Amino acid sequence: MQENLNVTGTLIWYYFICHREVWLMARNVVPDQDNSNVDLGRFIQEQSYQREKKEINLGHIKLDVISRGKEGLVIGEVKKTSKSEASARMQLAYYLSELEKLGLKAKGELRFPKEKRREIVELTDELRTKLDLAVRDILRIAYLEKPPGPIKIKYCKNCAYAEFCWS
């Protein structure tokens, strides 16, 4: 385990789905790369919004889409479905928060290309508080000696980490 773990948007996303996944990801345990959901997510990311800049790395954050809107900078987070919309919203809020710390004001946009739907996300005080608590708990989980026990949830059947939990 590395000394100074950087919380990433991916860890934020996993945190609101499964704490065991947070522990595995924080320790660089790579999910099954042959998982059809991983492949589908990669394909949707590559094929959607081709006219916009994609996958911009800023330190420990990776932005899916960045564009200039009428009101300024817009950061887009692309997801294959809205099934995990709450965790996607928190991931995008985290990116907006990190950009704000760098002095960049931006609006966020969740994008669900298969559903042809977008949702605007703005950083609020409520989201900032929720993010602060999540970041602290992510660090607590990441530094546990052993992963949290597996808990059967609706996401397990398609999870690329399923073998780590249920084999």
| Residue 122 covered by a domain | yes
Cβ-in-10-Å burial (0-12, 13-18, 19+) of 43 comes to exposed
pLDDT along the chain (167 residues), means of 10: 78 94 90 54 51 68 83 87 91 95 92 89 95 96 94 85 78
| Residue 4 covered by a domain | no
57: containing domain: 9-157
| Residue 163 covered by a domain | no
| pLDDT for residue 37 | 53
| pLDDT for residue 34 | 60
pTM of the model: 0.82
Q: Distance (Å, rounded) from C-alpha 151 to C-alpha 19?
A: 9
Angle between helices 85-101 and 125-142 (to 10 degrees): 100
Are 148 and 20 in contact, with CB atoms under 8 Å apart? Answer: yes
What CATH number does residue 103 fall under? 3.90.320.10
| pLDDT for residue 33 | 55
Token pair of 73 as six digits: 């900078």
| Residue 2 covered by a domain | no
Number of domains forming the structure of the chain = 1
| Residue 162 covered by a domain | no
Are 140 and 1 in contact, with CB atoms under 8 Å apart? Answer: no
| Residue 164 covered by a domain | no
